[in-house]
Amino acid sequence: MFSGLKERLQAARNRLTGSIGAAAEAAPPAAEQPVPEKTGAAPSTSITPQKSPTLADKVKILIIDRELVVSEKDIAEALDELEMTLLESDVALPVTDAIITEIRTGLVGKHRKIGESVDAIVVGALKSALLNVLGNGFDLPAYIRTHERPVKILFTGVNGTGKTTTVAKIGSYLKKQGFSVVIGAGDTYRAGAIEQIGVHAERLGIKIIEHQTGADPSAVLFDTVQYAVSHKTDVVLADTAGRFHTKANLMSQLDKIRRVMKPDLIIYVDEAVAGNDAVVRAAEFDRTIGADAIVLTKVDMDSRGGAAISIAHTIGKPLLFLGTGQAYEDIVPFEPGAVVEELLGSGA
């Protein structure tokens, strides 16, 4: 996942480690320490010999007899390169700035622990910066368990991003978590949309509420909620037609759906391969309709990773799931720590 971004971040990690390591090698050596005297022996004038550093020592220096203090000069070039790396990976400019600032704050002028490797220092700063922009994620099963049921979830997004398939995937996921689910076929205008969600529901053994093509989607979703209430169903998943935020009439229709259905959660769905476009669209949907969480689809096709890194920080709403393929099980709850660990690994 995000193979291109992972490769670039590893290169940035090595550059930062090398820059700081070179500065530490050039620093004045620690004061020489006398060898302890032996009992009954004459005072010794020998000193501890200085061991020549190996290549590995230069790359991952272990500070044994002094603290390391990193200066702005030590990392300036490496941070400039990292900034370009992030921008080329479609990370939004404000997010890139936040990451660079966090890393600089985490490294410059700090006294590091004796015995801590430079690589571990760098990885720690990179991880802290990425976790700061990725947010905390969103635990959907925990939310459902702690809220009055049915929990009503409305899905929004632009055309062609995999929203209907995402509804089916989340329905499958929630069934495996032990919840009962009903799907509302609220996309009543796109040709074949009702049939598409109907096929998914039949395969998954999930009840679907549908009206004829061209029906008012608000009426469909109102009936879906009523069914869930009368049958004590845990979760309502409401599909809607894809639309762009620039289409005022379609956004007004979505606002009507929201007022009629009164969703507990509005989930915005977009594709990771859209990069910064997904970030901009999410912000616009949040501004006009609202969004409580985000799902990114087609993550398996996105090597850059910019949308996943940027979107939660930019609009201040958590990532919920990542879509990683075509099968129903190809949906992964977003866990920031796991993503950062995959991108960076551990510090040596």
> What does the pLDDT look like over 283-300, one tens digit per residue?
888 888 899 999 999 999
Q: Is the pLDDT of residue 308 over 80?
A: yes
Phi/psi of residue 230, each to 5°?
A: -70, -25
| Nearest partner of 152 among 212, 214, 209, 216, judged by Cα | 209
Q: Is the pLDDT of residue 104 over 70?
A: yes
CATH number, domain of 245, equals 3.40.50.300
Q: How far apart are CA 208 and CA 39, in angstroms?
A: 88
pLDDT digits (tens, 9 = 90+) for 250-266: 777 888 999 999 999 99
Predicted confidence (pLDDT) at residue 54 exceeds the cutoff of 60: no
**CA triple 252-193-320, angle to 5 deg:** 70
Residues 172 and 124 in one domain: no
Q: Between 239 and 42, name the one with better pLDDT.
A: 239
* Residue 217 near residue 240, CB atoms below 8 Å: yes
Domain match, 228 and 319 both: yes
Q: How much is the pLDDT for 242?
A: 78
- Together in a domain, 54 and 170: no
How confident is residue 171, by pLDDT bands cut at 50, 70 and 90? very high
Asked if 185 and 311 sit in the same domain, the reply is yes
- Predicted confidence band of residue 102 (pLDDT cuts 50, 70, 90): very high
Torsions phi, psi of 66, nearest 5? -160, 160
pLDDT of 173-217, one tens digit each? 999 999 999 999 999 988 789 999 999 999 999 999 999 988 999
Residue 113 and residue 43 in one domain: yes
Residue 65: the pLDDT is 44
- The reply to whether 14 and 162 lie within a common domain is no
Q: What DSSP assignment string belongs to 89-121?
A: TT--HHHHHHHHHHHHHHHBTPBPPTT-BHHHH
**163 and 124, same domain (yes or no):** no
Domain's final residue, options 82, 115, 134: 134
Q: Is 121 exposed, middle or buried (0-12, 13-18, 19+ CB in 10 A)?
A: buried
Mean pLDDT of 324-330: 94
Same domain (yes/no): 116, 61 = yes
Residue ending a domain, choose from 134, 168, 185: 134
More confident residue, 135 or 56: 135
What distance in Å separates the CA atoms of residue 150 and residue 147, rounded to the nearest whole number? Answer: 8
- Looking at the chain, the whole-number percentage of residues with pLDDT higher than 90 is 55
Among 104, 134, 164, residue at a domain's last position: 134
Confidence of residue 34 (pLDDT cuts 50, 70, 90): very low
Structurally, how many domains does the chain consist of? 2
Domain containing 96 — which CATH number? 1.20.120.140
Beta bridge partners, 265, equal 153
Note whether 222 and 305 are same-domain residues: yes
CA dist., res. 106 & res. 130, Å (int): 12
The number of C-alpha atoms within 13 Å of 210 and in the hemisphere containing its C-beta is 21
What does pLDDT average to over the chain?
85
Indicate whether 40 pLDDT > 70. Answer: no
Q: Which residue has the higher pLDDT, 111 or 124?
A: 124
Helix (H) or strand (E) holding 265: strand 265-271
- Expressed as residue numbers, the domain containing 97 is 3-134
Confidence of residue 31 (pLDDT cuts 50, 70, 90): very low
Q: Yes or no: say if 297 and 272 are a contact pair by the CB < 8 Å rule.
A: yes
